[in-house]
Amino acid sequence: MAENESSHGGKREAARTKKAVGGRIAAIVAAVVIVAIVAAATWFGAFYPNIYPNVTVSGLDVGGMSVDEAARALEAHLANRHGVVTVTFEGEERLALDTDRLSEEYDAATEARAAAQFAFDKPREAGAIKRIGTLWSETHLEWANTMDLSPVRPLVEELAAGIAIPVKDGEANRRGDVIDVTVGEAGRECDAAALSEEVSRRLESGEFGSVEADGYVRAVEPKLPDLEQVLENIRVEPRDATYTVENGKVTGVTPEAIGVDFDLDAAEAELAKGKDFIIAVRYTYPEVTEENLESVWFQDKLADVSTTMSGSDANRTENVRLACSSINETVLMPGDEFSYNSIVGERTAERGFRNASVYLSGGIEDQLGGGICQTSSTVYMAALRARLEITSRKNHAYTVTYCPLGEDATVYWGSLDFKFKNNRDYPIKILCWLEGSNVHVQMFGTDTDGYTVKLNTVTHSYNPYETKQVENPNLEYGKTRQKVPGHSGYSVSTYATVYDRDGNEVDSYKVSDSKYVRLDRVVEIGTKGAPSVPVSGDPSMPPASAEPTTPASPEPSAPVSSEPTAPATPEPSTPASPEPSAPASAEPTAPESSAPTAESAPFVSQEPTAEPSAPASETPVSEEPFVPTTPEA
């Protein structure tokens, strides 16, 4: 058993040894073959005297030939490569290129020997394996004639220029009220570079004959005019003449612009037909011109309000006149905001403002600019009737007698302003002037709907003032003097009702809520020179102490119903043919038409005639939000 296993193991070992020996023999044989091939290639490349087998030059087989033999054969072969290449266009010869003219230094024998030497050298530049490969594979070589081809390109470019026809692009030119449009003319161009390359190739290769330039020519379509750009170049947007306004005052006029354009869609449809045509220029004339600016924009009276200054002293009247002068001829463009303080400016002595009564939270005293709230209130009344957007308004601390409850607007420099916005589509002009004892405000613009506004005030609470008497030792005995005028307290709401031209109600809304503080009337009783013991029954003797009494002086009228009703007083009337015009003098006056009648100025005031004497200092009432610290009455 052991012997058998030993026998089999020996056989396997002998087989492995035999296989290894065989592998080594195969490797040795392969190496010998490679060495032999390399040696053969080296000998072939170094010692083979002729051109390698299977080599052709320009189609002639010169393999195995010596350089001399190949030179003789190539001389005859290359001689056939001299000739003429012609270029034709539309069947007509346009250019002829002769190889002899391009090769004035040409020598056939020299050319042939150079080609033979090229056939001998070129294959030897390859590697050893490729050189062996020439024994059974062909090597094709091309020999280019040694001619000067540099004249070919300029000659072909000159030919191409003669063939080409410049394209004429379309145009659009304005001529007065029309635009002449041409579609242009097509052209053609010849690809001189490609044609020159083909001619040169044929001259070098000996492929003589004709080259048709037609295949190198292409049509060039004209570029059509860009009508959209043409329209953009001539377009002018129509524009109405307008004012240049700064802080409500006209500083200049921007003239109108006539609109210019044309029907682009129709023009492009015509252009697509491929024929010349004419475009008619369109003009759009503005409605408002520099010439008719005033009459067009301010042709309608939107509001006409007046309030009376009856009983006002000279100082208060002058303050109101100055405020009217500042406001007069104010123009608000659509979206502009009117600011009373900005337009009237600060009330200073340098500007001519005087001391007059103003309302304080604790009473009344004299300050610069007193009384100009009558102007702001009158403008407010007009703005409400013109349906302008009120953006800032506060009522007075106490009632005023020159306008209905809820229709006043107090102002004070640095703290309280009255503002409204022109929310109409057209500009408005404000005329404001003092005539006699009346403050007039008119607003002009463009009435697009014919609506009118009626205002109504509803009283929610009423707190009548009382009259109190105080002794004044400096006032003559038996005389009385009003120290503080009385003002009853009110809480009211103001409503507006809008009517169309036919008197139909189209809208109604709340305008504002107003709260007025009660201020008791104070009457001074003179005690200077009074007897020490009163004489009983003397009618001239004042009572030792007076009880408060009910008001005797006129109060602003206010409806007592809780529901909105039409106002008891008539609305300002509108003249038949209003024409806005600024007063000619420094003091604004009414327009040329007659002054407003009593019907158009229903708001009659009863100014206090007594000489108010305010306390030395007053403390504001902080719990009254509608009461400014020092509003100008």
Per residue, what are the HEC states of 5-22? Answer: HHHHHHHHHHHHHHHHHH
Asked whether the beta carbons of 502 and 391 are under 8 A apart, the reply is: no
Residue 223 confidence (pLDDT) above 50: yes
Predicted confidence at residue 41, as pLDDT, reads 61
Predicted confidence at residue 575, as pLDDT, reads 36
Residue 604 confidence (pLDDT) above 60: no
Closest among 457, 424, 440, 426 to 573, alpha carbons compared: 440
d(CA 595, CA 575): 10
Mean pLDDT, residues 105-109 = 64
Q: Which amino acid is at 350?
A: E
pLDDT band at 382 (very low <50, low <70, confident <90, very high): very high
**What Cα–Cα distance (Å) separates residue 201 from each residue in 99, 142, 197, 205, 599?**
12, 12, 6, 6, 109
Burial (CB count <10 Å: 0-12, 13-18, 19+), residue 576: exposed
Predicted confidence at residue 125, as pLDDT, reads 77
Asked whether the beta carbons of 243 and 256 are under 8 A apart, the reply is: no
In the chain, % of residues over pLDDT 90: 51
- CB atoms under 10 Å from CB of 437, counted, come to 15
In the chain, % of residues over pLDDT 70: 73
Asked whether the beta carbons of 618 and 363 are under 8 A apart, the reply is: yes
Predicted confidence at residue 80, as pLDDT, reads 61
3-state secondary structure of 378: helix
Residue 439 confidence (pLDDT) above 60: yes
- Beta-bridge partner residues of 367: 356
Angular region, 248: left φ>0, alpha ψ -120 to 50, beta rest: left
Residue 224 confidence (pLDDT) above 70: yes
Q: Hey, what are 532's tokens?
A: 């020490």
Asked whether the beta carbons of 593 and 579 are under 8 A apart, the reply is: yes
Burial (CB count <10 Å: 0-12, 13-18, 19+), residue 324: buried
pLDDT in tens, 490-504: 999 999 999 999 999
- Beta-bridge partner residues of 513: 493
Higher-confidence position of 580 and 376: 376
Q: Mean of the per-residue pLDDT values for the chain?
A: 79
Predicted confidence at residue 615, as pLDDT, reads 31
Mean pLDDT, residues 441-469 = 95
Predicted confidence at residue 632, as pLDDT, reads 55
Predicted confidence at residue 441, as pLDDT, reads 97
3-state secondary structure of 508: strand
First-to-last alpha carbon distance for the chain, in angstroms, is 144
The model's pTM: 0.56
Length of the chain: 633
pLDDT band at 510 (very low <50, low <70, confident <90, very high): very high
Higher-confidence position of 82 and 182: 182
Predicted confidence at residue 368, as pLDDT, reads 87
d(CA 410, CA 425): 28
Predicted confidence at residue 446, as pLDDT, reads 92
How large is the angle between the packed helices 192-205 and 152-163, nearest 10 degrees?
140
Mean pLDDT, residues 532-554 = 47
Residue 302 confidence (pLDDT) above 80: yes
Asked whether the beta carbons of 497 and 456 are under 8 A apart, the reply is: yes
pLDDT band at 180 (very low <50, low <70, confident <90, very high): very high
Predicted confidence at residue 361, as pLDDT, reads 63
The dihedral of CA 233, 234, 238, 244: what is its sign? positive
Highest mean pLDDT among 58-67, 400-409, 593-602: 400-409
Highest mean pLDDT among 20-34, 242-256, 552-566, 591-605: 242-256
Q: Which amino acid is at 37?
A: I
Report the Cα 23 to chain-centroid distance in Å: 91
Q: Which residues contact 357 (CB under 8 A, 6 or more apart)?
A: 316, 364, 365, 366, 370, 371, 608, 612, 633
Least confident of 16-25, 286-295, 323-332, 525-534: 16-25
